[in-house]
């Protein structure tokens, strides 16, 4: 196990967001987190990253190297694609930067500035940056939300390829059940606020061998839809 969250509580004013949440993050796994809008998923990632402190509870583990891909790309507008990636490394590794740029399909755009890229290209640059940072735990908050279907499918492939090489642990928040089914070693369905774990699904098939049209995935999708639709806010 790489990180353990035990009995985490977080409240904003009189709003209970996290209520005795427990979560283990294992080595080399992708955890996908799905849950109702506003239930506290970003708050959970912010707590794991150390950006906000829980009111109560304990986080133990290897938290020195946590990477974070925010929903918006957060690239520096005055730096090129290459420079935006290079900036997060301790020592510059030119070959690794170029390999990552090629891997996420940005060959030829090394010297472009974020303003001259599409939203999808910027998002791919921020994913390359997160992998260059070489984090042990990578937090991703709905990183593909604004992408069209084909781009999303490509990005899922890129992500699996990069993860296969780096073998970091990834905590991936999404509203998209298919993304979770394609990526997660575990899918954690959260209940509405104050959030807790409603159900955990384990998927033992390697990501590169998954097909959403398989019966098993249709079955899992229906179960997740049932859980989420029984948990609507009144
Ligand atoms: N800094 C803050 N101060 C006060 N309330 C906050 C703060 N951050 C989050 N909240 C509240 O906590 C709840 C959970 O917010 P959070 O952003 O974690 O939800 P989420 O699950 O990520 O939502 P979404 O799916 O829409 O991204 C929301 O009701 C939000 O208004
Ligand atoms: Mg959020």
Query: DSSP for 125-174?
Result: HHHHHHHHTT-SEEEEESTTTTS-HHHHHHHHHHHHHHHHHH--EEEEE-
**39 close to ligand 1 (CB < 6 Angstrom):** yes
Is the same domain home to 130 and 142? no
Question: Can you give the residue range of the structural domain that contains 142?
Answer: 3-65+136-229
Q: Indicate whether 109 and 207 sit together in one domain.
A: no
Domain shared by 140 and 130, yes or no: no
Q: Is the pLDDT of residue 148 over 90?
A: no
Classify 115 as helix, strand or coil: helix
Report which bound ligand comes closest to the CA of 43.
1
Distance 42 CA to ligand 2 centre (A): 4
Tell me the best of 19, 36, 42, 231 to mutate to test the pocket of ligand 1, counting ligand atoms within 8 Å of each CB and taking the most: 42
Over the chain, what is the mean pLDDT?
Answer: 91
Distance CA 208, CA 163 (A): 11
The answer as to whether 234 is a domain residue is no
Over residues 147-157, mean pLDDT: 84
Is residue 57 located within the same domain as residue 153?
yes
In this structure, what are the phi and psi dihedrals at residue 25, rounded to the nearest 5 degrees?
-110, 115
Q: Which atom of ligand 1 is nearest to the CA of 190?
A: 21
CATH number (domain holding residue 141): 3.40.50.300
Phi and psi torsions of 226, nearest 5°: -60, -45
The per-residue pLDDT for range 126-139, each reduced to its tens digit, is 988 988 987 889 99
Boundary (domain end) residue, out of 118, 134, 150: 134
Confidence of residue 119 (pLDDT cuts 50, 70, 90): confident
Asked if residue 28 is part of any domain, the answer here is yes
CA-closest candidate to residue 190, choices 12, 20, 62, 40: 40
Ligand nearest the Cα atom of residue 15: 1
């Amino acid at each position: 196990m790489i990180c353990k969250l035990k009995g985490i509580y977080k409240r904003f004013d009189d709003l209970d967001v996290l209520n005795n949440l427990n979560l283990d993050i294992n080595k080399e796994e992708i955890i996908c987190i799905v849950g109702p809008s506003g239930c506290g998923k970003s708050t959970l990632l912010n707590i794991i990253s150390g950006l906000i402190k829980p009111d109560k509870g304990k986080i133990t583990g290897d938290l020195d190297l946590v990477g974070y891909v925010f929903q918006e790309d957060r690239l520096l507008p005055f730096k090129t694609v290459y420079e935006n990636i290079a900036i997060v490394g301790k020592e510059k590794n030119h070959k690794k930067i170029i390999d990552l740029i090629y891997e996420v399909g940005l060959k030829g755009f090394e010297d472009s500035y974020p303003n001259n890229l599409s939203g999808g290209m910027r998002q791919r640059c921020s994913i390359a940056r997160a992998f260059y940072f070489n984090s042990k735990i990578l937090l991703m908050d709905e990183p593909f939300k604004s992408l069209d279907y084909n781009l999303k499918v490509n990005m899922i492939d890129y992500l699996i390829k990069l993860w296969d090489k780096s073998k970091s642990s990834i905590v991936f928040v999404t509203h998209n059940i298919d993304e979770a089914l394609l990526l997660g070693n575990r899918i954690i369905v959260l209940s509405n606020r104050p959030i807790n774990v409603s159900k955990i699904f384990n998927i033992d098939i390697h990501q590169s061998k998954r097909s959403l049209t398989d019966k098993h995935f249709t079955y899992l999708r229906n179960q997740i839809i049932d859980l989420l639709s029984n948990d609507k806010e009144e």
